[in-house]
Amino acid sequence: MGKVIAVYSMKGGVGKSSLAVNLAFEAARTGKALLWDVDAQGAASFLLGQVSGGKAMKIFSRDVDPVDVVEQTAHVGLDLIAADLSLRHLDAELAEVGPKRLHKLLARVADDYDWVVLDCPPGLGPLSEQIFRAADVLVVPVLPAPLALRTLEQVRERLTEARGKKAPPMLPVLSMVDRRKAMHREVVEEHGGWPAIPHASVVEKMGLERAPLSTFAAKSPAAKAVRGVWEQVLGAVG
């Protein structure tokens, strides 16, 4: 079974989906990769130039086999299961089933891949509980601000409660860093071992290019920072 990388945050608007797309692209450079978008907003699907056929929720209700909705993207070695708004009811669906529905669904597809990257919706609920149980590593983008760091600790506590000694590694990533701001510089210095992705227009340009950073801005500081995150992921999964 391929390694499962969950890109997760309790808060939205932290660059989560763009990071998931970029990590999936890096994963596809080292093996066959699947990006599974489970966020109802479908931002990761959009950034890869894909749209869901309206079957995203049917995967979880067992009306559709996840294998049957995998799409090839324009990037070699990278496939996608796209999201759509039907997933807005996913927490309600998962609240009525066993705690391993996501794990079982991943088992249906993960044998065909070296890496599965999950773009997870923000918040805490039944889905996040299943993500914590299914992930081999949790990548958590966080803004360089006190409240965001507090939220990070809440995620760490919940992950430990859910998995105990079997909790997967959690990799914090400072996101949307503006080094012109004193607080941002202080947080980066305090957490020197954490990757820091700059707040850069080139990241926003992904929405225009509908493509990962390394395909159109490979030498940008943001792309280099993403590759640094990927190196930490590789180290975390051994």
How far, in Å, CA of 178 to CA of 183, rounded? Answer: 9
Rg (CA), the chain: 17
| 127, HSE (Cβ side, Cα atoms, 13 Å) | 23
Q: Are 34 and 70 in contact (CB under 8 A)?
A: yes
Greatest alpha-carbon pair distance for the chain in Å reads 52
pLDDT > 70: what percent of the chain?
Answer: 100
8, 45, 98, 107, 185 from 112: Cα distances, Å = 23, 20, 24, 9, 42
Specify the DSSP element, H or E, that contains 19: helix 16-30
What was the pLDDT predicted at 37? 97
Residue-level pLDDT at 127: 93
Residue 215 and residue 223 in contact, taking contact as beta carbons nearer than 8 Å? no
**pLDDT for the residue 53:** 73
Other beta carbons less than 10 A from residue 171's beta carbon:
19
Of 231 and 164, which is predicted with more confidence?
A: 231
Q: Where are the beta strands (DSSP E) in 1-56?
A: 3-7, 33-37
Q: For residues 7 and 226, what is the distance between their CA atoms, to the nearest angstrom?
A: 13
- In the structure encoding, which two tokens stand for residue 6, read together? 């969950």
- What pLDDT, on a 0 to 100 scale, did the predictor assign at position 59? 94
In contact, 102 and 134? CB cutoff 8 Å: yes
**DSSP E strands, the chain:** 3-7, 33-37, 71-72, 78-81, 115-119, 137-142, 170-177, 196-198
- The answer on pLDDT for 187 being more than 80 is yes
pLDDT for the residue 196 = 97
Tens digits of residue pLDDT in 46-99 = 999 987 778 899 999 888 999 999 999 999 999 999 999 999 999 988 988 878
Q: Which residue has the higher pLDDT, 225 or 166?
A: 225
- What would the pLDDT profile of 88-134 be if each residue is shown by its tens digit? 999 988 988 878 899 999 999 999 999 999 999 998 889 999 999 99
Instruction: For the sheet with 196-198, list strands across it.
Output: 71-72, 78-81, 33-37, 115-119, 3-7, 137-142, 170-177, 196-198
Amino acid present at 178:
D
Class of the CATH domain delimited by 3-237:
alpha beta
Cβ atoms < 10 Å from Cβ of 190? 10
The residue-averaged pLDDT of 147-166 equals 91
pLDDT tier at 199, thresholds 50, 70, 90: very high
Mean pLDDT for the chain?
Answer: 94
Domain boundaries, the chain: 3-237
What is the reported pLDDT for 150? 93
